[in-house]
C-alpha cells in the first residue's frame, strides 16, 4: 500500500515537473534551449563555433554596443549565420532570451 502511494506521488511529481517545463518561458530556459549551443552558457561561444560561425562573445564591444531593440531585431530576423527565430519563438520568448544574453555583456 505505502509502496503504491510512493510510486504514484513520484509519478505525480514527474507529471508536474514536465508540465512546468513546457510552460517555462523564462529567458534563461529559452536561452539554454535555443541559443546556448552557439552563444555558450555564459555568452562566450566555444572557439570552434566562434571561428566557424563568426559568433562573438556577449562582452565584445561590437556586441555590447547594440541596443536591446537591435538585438531583438537580429534574433527575430536572423543575422549572418544565425537563423531567424521569427515563428519559432514568440516575441516574448525572443525578448526574454535576448535580455538573458545581455546579462553576460556586463
Q: How far is the CB of 18 from ligand HEC (least distance, A)?
A: 22
Residue 48 host element (H or E): helix 47-53
Q: Interacting stretch for ligand HEC, rule CB under 6 A, among 8-16, 17-25, 68-76?
A: 68-76
Rounded CA-CA distance 24/93 in Å is 10
Residue (14 or 68) nearer to ligand HEC, CB: 68
Instruction: By CB under 6 A, tell whether 76 contacts ligand HEC.
Output: no
Q: Which of 24, 20, 56 is nearest to 38 (CA)?
A: 56
Contact between 37 and ligand HEC by CB under 6 A: the answer reads yes
| Whole-angstrom distance, CA of residue 23 vs CA of residue 55 | 29
Three-state DSSP class for 96?
helix
The whole-angstrom separation of Cα 40 and Cα 47 is 10
Q: Which stretch binds ligand HEC (CB under 6 A): 2-10, 11-19, 76-84?
A: 76-84
According to CB under 6 A, which residues from 1 to 30 bind ligand HEC?
none
44 binds ligand HEC (CB under 6 A): no
Amino acid at each position: 500500500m505505502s509502496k503504491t502511494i510512493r510510486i504514484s506521488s513520484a509519478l505525480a511529481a514527474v507529471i508536474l515537473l514536465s508540465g512546468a517545463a513546457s510552460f517555462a518561458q523564462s529567458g534563461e530556459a529559452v536561452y539554454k534551449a535555443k541559443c546556448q549551443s552557439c552563444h555558450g552558457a555564459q555568452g562566450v561561444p566555444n572557439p570552434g563555433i566562434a571561428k566557424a560561425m563568426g559568433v562573438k562573445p556577449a562582452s565584445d564591444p561590437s556586441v555590447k554596443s547594440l541596443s536591446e531593440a537591435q538585438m531583438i531585431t537580429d534574433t527575430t530576423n536572423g543575422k549572418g549565420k544565425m537563423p531567424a527565430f521569427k515563428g519559432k519563438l514568440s516575441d516574448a520568448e525572443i525578448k526574454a532570451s535576448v535580455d538573458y544574453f545581455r546579462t553576460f555583456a556586463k
